[in-house]
Chains A and B, each alone.
Chain A
Amino acid sequence: MMGPASSLIRSGNPQGAKPYERFLLSPTAWGQLPAALQQETELALLGLWADATQVHACFLHEPSAEAVLASTPAAGWNYAALSPARPGAVRFERMILELWGHRAEGAVDLRPWLDHGRWNLRHPLAAKPIPFAGEAPQPEFLPVEGEGIHQIPVGPIHAGVIEPGHFRFSVQGEVVVRLEQRLGYTHKGTLSLMLGTSPRAAVRYAARLSGDTTVAHSWAFSAAVEAALGVTAPPRALHLRALMLELERIHNHLNDWGFVCNDAAFAFPHARCGFLREGVLRAVAAAFGHRLMMDRVLPGGVAPDIAPRGAEAILAALDAVEAEIPSLMQIYEAHASLQDRVVTTGYLRPDLARAFAAGGHVGRASGRGFDARRLPQNQPYPTLRFDVPLLETSDVDARVRIRVLELSQSIALVRQILASLPAGETMAPLPVRAGEGVAMIEGFRGECLHWIALDDGGIIRGLFPRDPSWLQWPLLEAAIEDNIVADFPLCNKSFNCSYSGVDL
């Protein structure tokens, strides 16, 4: 069943993107999109970005899990904002204005986001960037009204060993009335470095969008390139990618489970999770030669192949993790002081999770079950058995429980993958030709969405890597509302959004 927005998009001119088509809409047709989206709530906005001449959007039809892309010309005039119909569009529209100079007409919010006035140019990705040499402006925060409200500014440098960003809390007594995030501190100009290079050269940037998600982003980038060029990675490479992706999920989930407990002054689970994670990382280093598996997933396949005794090391490390999950869970559940901190804390309304199309544990703890591993093109997952846990309770506890449930699923997946690892090559040659591709790969935070367009010489002429955190950060602002300031670290760690992944 196609709704009005889906019909409107598919009435556009197909541009040949694979496996999901991209339709070019006239400015008039795009102008009707916000109203059509209001009438078709099951069409979720996954991402919004641009190139020098057009603005592009990616949507997901939730009931069928089918994605579709829409574009409209944006150079020379203002494109119609999608933020009145999809709240997740707000930060994308702010980014598009700063990086490419395209202004969204009727946007909810166009305050500066990534551009803090510290670069020596404006609109760095526009056809002609403008030199800039002014004072950096003071950031503007949304007004907060009420009696006895005070502000707590935090960051960009935080107290822990974490990424930089600024949080502005408006507090009444102990209760957070509003949290506003100001990010962009880790903006490295990554897109500018990737444009105009070959996919083989650019994949190292995909691997460093967010170091904890290096496998998922490298795979999503490589899969988009392979879709654009009509190439399939060899079966052994696909299995090894899935193996690395699950190991990445395991080490991150262990890390965050421990840190959530630590933020509630429960050091023991933190110590155990840290030790188990270290065992996994050392096994990973033995198997793939790098503790985080950076630069192992490449367009065309995987290199190098798994080391001869790598599988044994991995299985031994995971046996240790699996053996300890029940006792750690028992400790987590049996201590009232810990449960008191996590249960009902940081409640995220399920309708908000749906409105923002939140993926990963954030979505799945609030009833939205999308998992990119279920997509038919994401081999080898259609040949593997696994459950996608789903909860409705929507608090810190639910997000922790989703992680723990996923740990067991991922351990089982690793065993299946290693037991059915096909023999053969791990790398397919890449032809040099034009093409356009899209891919979604389920990282530990949710689906990593990559779009790429290659010119006749096989050079990248357009791309966007969308980290799942784009749609989760705004929800952290909502989840902390009416909680006490002291519970913010718990809420924050239960989300664990990426700074670098969205700062680009």
Chain B
Amino acid sequence: MLWPKLARALFAKPLTDNAPLVPRETIQALGERLAATSRARLGRSLAIREVDSGSCNGCELEVNALQNVAYDLERFGLRFVASPKHADVLLVTGPACLNMREALERALASTPEPRWVVAAGDCAVDGGVFKGSYAVENGIAAVLPVDLLIPGCPPTPAQLLEGLLSLLETEAAKK
């Protein structure tokens, strides 16, 4: 029963191209630009440490979706790492809860330079709907030096990808 399987494998389209409802051209264009820039800047490797400063978990769902086979972030040279010590980018979600402030500061202190901080999601940008609460800092910028804001509640995987690309382009232009 090997032949039918081989035939299927030969003629099946790769899953990554099968993205019917997201504009494929956008993703592809983004991907190409991203690959070129990240290769120039970082030798095709950008390590991202995701830190949740107290989000509702909506942003985490979409950041995780970036890693599914449809988006397959790693083909662009971007990957998620388990420790800030291995990271170039801190991708921070949530409004910066006061109970997370010390953890955020420690995560930054553990991230080697050069490093970038990306605030992802409306909460991380300015506190979002939680702005003004006694328990939050109204956004990541109150705790960490933010290089890039990616709004959205939550930002879609495509928006996250777009944001990471613009970070790389800006940094490459500075050189």
Q: Which residues of A contact B (CB under 8 A)?
A: 114, 116, 118-121, 124, 136, 156-157, 159-164, 184-190, 192-193, 204-205, 208-212, 214, 255, 271, 274-275, 277-278, 281-283, 285-286, 291-292, 294, 313, 498-500, 503
Contacts and interface: CB of A to CB of B under 8 A. Distances in A.
Contact of A211 (B56, B99, B107): B56
Contacts of A275: 15, 68-70
B46 to A, nearest CB: 16
B60 A162 contact: yes
B50 A161 contact: yes
A260 B65 CA distance: 16
Interface string B35-74: 0000000000000001111111111111111011111000
A212 B63 CA distance: 13
A124 B134 contact: yes
Given A193-B132, A211-B60, A278-B68, 18 more contacts: A157-B103, A157-B107, A159-B83, A161-B67, A164-B53, A164-B100, A184-B99, A185-B100, A186-B55, A188-B54, A188-B133, A189-B130, A214-B58, A274-B65, A278-B70, A291-B62, A294-B58, A500-B54
B17 to A, nearest CB: 12
- The 10 A-B pairs at the shortest CB distance, nearest first, are namely A211-B58, A189-B133, A274-B68, A189-B135, A159-B82, A186-B54, A282-B21, A211-B56, A118-B98, A208-B56
B70 A162 contact: no
Nearest to B136: A188
A121 B64 CA distance: 35
B156 interface: yes
Contact of A192 (B19, B70, B133): B133
6 contacts: A192-B133, A211-B57, A211-B61, A212-B57, A255-B61, A292-B58
B154 interface: yes
Nearest to B153: A294
B70 to A, nearest CB: 5
Nearest to B16: A275
B151 interface: no
B4 interface: no
A186 B99 contact: yes
A124 B153 CA distance: 27
Contacts of B135: 119, 124, 187-189
B114 interface: no
A186 B129 contact: no
B169 to A, nearest CB: 24
B21 A161 contact: no
A136 B99 CA distance: 10
A258 to B, nearest CB: 9
A212 to B, nearest CB: 6
A163 B103 contact: no
Interface string B119-159: 00000000001101111100000000000000001101000
A162 B83 CA distance: 13
Given A159-B82, A278-B70, A313-B21, A189 B103 contact: no
Q: Give chain A's interface secondary structure class.
A: loop
Nearest to A205: B129
Contacts of B129: 193, 204-205, 208
A255 B65 CA distance: 10
A401 B22 CA distance: 32
Contacts of B54: 164, 185-188, 500, 503
A185 B99 contact: yes
Given A186-B55, A211-B56, A294-B153, A192 B83 contact: no
Contacts of A255: 61, 64
B94 interface: yes
A281 B60 CA distance: 15
A228 B141 CA distance: 41
B47 to A, nearest CB: 13
A186 B154 contact: no
A313 B156 CA distance: 19
A281 B65 contact: yes
Contact of B154 (A277, A278, A292): A292
A429 to B, nearest CB: 25
Contacts of B98: 118-119
B61 A119 contact: no
Contacts of A157: 51-52, 84, 103, 107
Nearest to A161: B50
Contacts of B55: 163, 186, 211, 500
A161 B80 CA distance: 9
Contacts of A163: 52, 55, 57, 60
Contacts of B103: 156-157, 164, 185
B3 to A, nearest CB: 19
Contacts of B94: 186
B154 A211 contact: yes
B168 interface: no
Contacts of A274: 65, 67-70
Contacts of A184: 99
B130 A193 contact: yes
Contacts of A294: 58, 153
Contacts of A204: 129
A444 B71 CA distance: 25
B31 interface: no
B101 interface: yes
Contacts of B134: 119-121, 124, 189, 192
